[in-house]
Amino acid sequence: MATTLNMSSAANRENLFGPDKKTDDIVNRASGLDNHGLVGFQRQIMKEQDEGLEKLEETVTSTKHIALAVNEELTLHTKLLDDLDEHVDVTNSRLQTVQRKLAFLNKRTKGGCSCLILLVIAIVILIVVIWGLFKYL
């Protein structure tokens, strides 16, 4: 089972990253070296790995800063949404209060037609009176 997992892991690695050309290159370069040459070659490989790790560290640090900035932005947006939700709740309660008052007023005026007719008659009388006053001036 372990052999199957290792083979599967190697196949997945090749699918993700492509064939490992560096390993083949390293084996070819190290095949003709003596012990002293192998030690130098290992140091060179470790130096290259250290450089790669430094680049990886820079990338991780940059990603960390981006993640922190995104977190701050999300925190701000969450606060803004909470404030908006609170304002919507307050406005909704006010609107419900006004609707109840309007419903009560509508029931008191029995549909509001008589009140509206009286208002129109009063406006017409006011216009006639004002027009009559301007006629004499």
DSSP-assigned states of every residue in the chain: -HHHHHHHHHHHHHHHH---HHHHHHHHHHTT--HHHHHHHHHHHHHHHHHHHHHHHHHHHHHHHHHHHHHHHHHHHHHHHHHHHHHHHHHHHHHHHHHHHHHHHHHHTTTSHHHHHHHHHHHHHHHHHHHHHHHH-
Percent of the chain with pLDDT over 70: 72
Q: Would you say residue 46 has pLDDT above 60?
A: yes
pTM of the complete model = 0.47
Q: For 49-92, what is each residue's pLDDT tens digit?
A: 999 999 999 999 999 999 999 999 999 999 999 999 999 998 98
Q: Would you say residue 47 has pLDDT above 90?
A: yes
Q: Would you say residue 41 has pLDDT above 60?
A: yes
When comparing pLDDT for 117 and 94, which is higher?
94
